[in-house]
Structure 1
Amino acid sequence: MRSRCALVVGFDRNPTSRAALGFAVDLAQRLAADVHVVHAIDLSDYPVDPDSATWEDDAQAAVAGERALAAEALKDFTGAWTYRQAHGEPAEVLASVADEVDALMVVVGSRREGPGAAISHLVSPSVSKRLLGHAATRPVLVVPRVAALS
């Protein structure tokens, strides 16, 4: 049984991810829900040279930057929130955290746009599609780049 409403939101540097976090925070305020921000770490997302002598420090700095962005978005949020980082496929990481906290729903941004994204659409299903796959256990809210509750 759910003791307090919880929302899980996927987060990275993508603008649609930031929109998803903003939407989730607004929704959480209205529902008196906790927010669990989840970043599935994929170092290929960061401009880190693995051959550099400082690559570990550079990677940690990049990941710390993600947390700082999330904290900034949550600075006026009056409810409880957590920030988690985990290595793994984003949909699996999000689903795992959602199961752990018995989330009401998972909130994610829509897919990236642009030429590179078109190729990505052909090669790999989106995080939202993976979350809605055969093992879906809860609703998934997909937020476009520009979204607001009215």
Structure 2
Amino acid sequence: MTDSTPRAAEEAAQNAALQKAVIVGIQPGQPPHVLDEALRYARLLSAPLVVVHVDVTRFVTYEDPDGYVHSAPIDLNLDAGAAEFEDVQRAAEQALADVDVPWTARQLVGDPALAIKQLAEKLDAQLIVVGTRKRGLGESIREFFTGSVAARLAHRQHRSVLVVPQGDTVPDDQKDIWTE
């Protein structure tokens, strides 16, 4: 089961069916074991799975009383976020094709930690799953200005946050974690 951005009435019906879900934040190109781990916990908790991608190139302009979110782009490249969501959705469809857990894909907009937190509140989620960030200078700069999504989620809401390593681990004797 998948959807893109549902309208308010559809979203309310879907949210009712997705109560107590496990939410997993996914980015294009992220290792598949982040989604696998979220699926494992959804099975353990007998919960639906919500795969989310947050389009950081858009921001929330206002929210209707019925919950529908209106957004605007930060820049004129409108296709970037849509293309990323399509990649995430396609990867989720392939990975979850034969699973026995109900799931859906959603695209959120704005700040990743705040968008995931708000969705978790709407769904009364049992667990939020995110991957660690990629190593590299660009990611280090982004995290310096915005902070870690996992850390911000852990400090700004009451649900458990599972942080799944992306892959390559740093040796214990390496002092600087982000050498790139």
TM-score between the two structures when normalised by the length of structure 1: 0.76
Residues 48-85 of structure 1 deviation map (CA, whole Å, 9 limit, x = unaligned): xx67xxx5456534432221112112112211111111
Higher-helix-fraction structure:
1
Q: What is the CA RMSD across the aligned residues, in angstroms?
A: 2.6
Measure, in 2, the Cα distance between the counterparts of 1:41 and 1:101.
20
Equivalent position SS for 1:97: helix
- Which stretch of the first structure deviates more once superposed, 110-119 or 94-103? 110-119
1:122-141 to 2 correspondence within 5 Å? 122-133=144-155, 135-141=156-162
Structure exhibiting the larger radius of gyration computed from Cα positions? 2
Aligned length: 135
CA contact (8 A) 2:126 2:160 kept: yes
Q: Determine the structure 1 residue equivalent to 2:92.
A: 70
Instruction: Check 1:7–1:58 CA distance in 2 against 1; reply closer, same or farther (3 A cut).
Output: closer
- Separation in 1, partners of 2:79, 2:24: 26
Structure with bigger RCO (C-alpha 8 Å, 6+ apart):
1
Alignment TM-score, normalising by the size of structure 2: 0.65
Q: Where in structure 1 are there 5+ consecutive unaligned residues?
A: 45-49
Would the aligned equivalents of 1:34 and 1:79 in 2 still touch at CA under 8 Å? yes
Unaligned runs of 5+ in 2: 1-17, 59-74, 168-180
The 1:4–1:43 alpha-carbon spacing in structure 2 relative to 1, beyond 3 Å, is closer
Residue 22 of structure 2 corresponds to 7
